[in-house]
Structure 1
Amino acid sequence: MSAVVSDVGTRTAVEATGLVKVYGKGDTAVHALAGVTVAFEAGRFTAIMGPSGSGKSTLMHCLAGLDDVDGGQVRVGGTEITGLGDKDLTKLRRDRVGFVFQSFNLLPTLTAEQNILLGLELAGRKPDREWFDTIVEVLGLRDRLKHKPTELSGGQQQRVACARALVARPDVVFADEPTGNLDSRSGAEVLDFLRMSVRKLGQTVIMVTHDPVAASYADRVVLLADGHLAGDITAPTADSVLAALKNLGA
């Protein structure tokens, strides 16, 4: 199995500088992000948290190139994405970014293996079978590859979604409330797998969550409030995250 990359903790995977995002105009304008500057190190699991309306989902969407920004810059793997056109953005998201969403977004007519490999197939890329086998083993999916989504539990479906996000060896995986539709046991399994992908496969994961227990699986928690950075917790615990959120009025 692959070892964690040697420059973990020294290389920046994703970086935002002076990020501004405004919804609406004039008196009704809402500054979802008001000049956010933050960097995410490669090979680490970072959670983004904050009260409702703090801008955490907006930040993730801007970092991933899913939303346009109104000011500032975003760099993914050393590439500035804020100036890219639609075609180049689509290529970057396809080749260098992985996504895990609250809803699993699996195609019901395809098997687990076909769902995992679909993005590579659409991109005209052949999978690295050794890497595929490593991911499948780490995620415990070997005996589920021929099953369709309706034949899988929610936790198994989310593991398939995790494998799909990892199989292209992206610079970063963005996870948006990945345990939101799961029971506590299945949610813990998915969080274990995300953490394992960082520690054993050298992956970089950035997760938005509202759950202090989910955030405790991360190496670091970035706190937002009212579109501004409001704190940074290293080696978080559920209690330390909960206390920080209470201080923010969450």
Structure 2
Amino acid sequence: MPPPGGSTHRGRGGTVDTMSHSSTLPRPADAPTRPAVSAHGLTKTYGRGDTEVHALRGVDVEFAAGQFTAIMGPSGSGKSTLMHCLAGLDVPTSGTIALGDTVITGLDDGQLTRLRRDRVGFVFQAFNLVPTLTAEQNILLPLELAGTSPDRAWMEEIVDTLGLTERLKHRPSELSGGQQQRVAVARALLTRPDVVFGDEPTGNLDTATGTEVLALLRRSVRQMGQTVIMVTHDPVAASSADRVVLLADGRLAGELLEPTPDAVAAALAQLQ
């Protein structure tokens, strides 16, 4: 039964409640006890006085380990701000964020840098590859900067899974957009991070290549036990996830389990 002021949408095997006043989403019933990432009472305010903008307004949300979650909402809903705060790229105005059992709110810049390096992976829309380095060097770069040695067996497994074995000596300019994003995915997975965050990871790709990259992210969840949290504006991309978390005006507005493109589009239309 839909909540007051909201409605319920049905995906492949779940429902979404789009709520105008709720700010809390429970974990799916089959999720592990300890979430990979959680936020409680999260607010983020930019500016002051007449220019004050409330990007997040008391968000409580948890993300299960070993699950692929998409964050969606209308323009200005706070989805990118939420992801940046969860990933330690931005500091919330109030509230707490935990990566596993580690509360990251209150950490200083050096501690956040080490946490992002050691426990978080990133896949961005713009790939963020170093043009003078080969694909292999780009994949290894975070470990090089940390002064640690790679697990070569794990790297070979990732490279083989992502179909990059024959491309390791190529520089980014010699790779297609899809191949460059595969390199970025491999780099994100190499440190066995607690969570991989994707910020519009298919935004610069054509439909076929974007579908391929999403399949790779799903494979990292299914075969490698990875946790992936992705911000996207595309209902088709979001349908690759196990769960869609919806935001509107800085508040949580519902969720969709086992989403389909049509169900996601309908939920977003209701939030507009």
* TM-fit CA distance, 1:138: 1.1
Alignment check: 8 A CA contact 1:9 1:44 kept? no
Q: Alignment partner for residue 178 of structure 2, among 147, 151, 155? A: 155
Structure 1 residue 248 and structure 2 residue 271: aligned? yes
- Counterparts of 1:37-48 in structure 2, within 5 Å, are 37-48=60-71
Contact in 2 for aligned 1:18/1:35 (Cα 8 Å): yes
Query: Which of 199, 204, 214 is equivalent to 2:227?
Result: 204
Q: Distance in 2 between matches of 1:184 and 1:125?
A: 37
Q: Point out where structure 2 has 5 or more consecutive residues left out of the alignment.
A: 1-29
1:53-106: per-residue Cα shift (whole Å, max 9, x none)? 000000000000101110000001211111101111100000000000000110
Name the residue aligned to 2:254: 231
Deviation of the 1:29 alpha carbon: 1.0
Q: Where do residues 101-250 of structure 1 align in structure 2 (5 Å cutoff)?
A: 101-249=124-272
> What is the aligned counterpart of 2:108 among 85, 88, 100?
85
* Residues in 2 aligned to 1:142 and 1:35: alpha-carbon distance in whole angstroms: 45
> By how many angstroms is 1:21 displaced?
0.1
1:31-73 CA deviation, whole Å, 9 max, x = no partner?
1000000000000000000000000000000000101110000
Instruction: Give how far 1:11 is off.
Output: 3.1
Distance (whole Å) between structure 2 residues aligned to residue 231 and residue 206 of structure 1: 16
Instruction: Report the more deviating stretch, 78-87 or 45-54.
Output: 78-87
Distance 2:187 2:217 in 1: 12
Paired residue for 1:31, among 54, 78, 92? 54
- Residues of 2 paired with 1:163 and 1:9: CA distance? 26
| Equivalent in the alignment of 2:90 | 67
Q: What residue ranges of structure 1 are gaps of 5+ in the alignment?
A: 1-6
Secondary structure of 1:12's counterpart equals coil
TM score, norm. by length of structure 2: 0.88
| 1:15 paired residue number | 38
SS at match of 2:205: coil
In the TM superposition, residue 8 of structure 1 has moved relative to its aligned partner by: 6.3
Shift of 1:137: 1.2
Deviation track 1:130-181 (CA, whole Å, cap 9, x = no partner) reads: 1111111111111111111000000000000000000000000000000000
Task: String of CA shifts for 1:188-225, please: whole Å, max 9, x gaps.
Answer: 01000000000000000000000000000000000000
Count of residue correspondences? 243
SS at match of 1:83: coil
User: Where has structure 1 moved over 4 Å in runs of 4 or more?
Assistant: none
User: What is the distance in 2 between the residues matched to 1:133 and 1:11?
Assistant: 30
Corresponding residue of 2:79: 56
Aligned mates of 2:95, 2:50 — CA distance in 1: 22
Counterparts of 1:10 and 1:49, CA distance in 2 = 24
Identity %: 72
Distance 1:33 1:237, change over 3 A: same
Compute the displacement of 1:26 (Å): 1.7
Query: Which residue in the other structure is 2:13 paired with?
Result: none
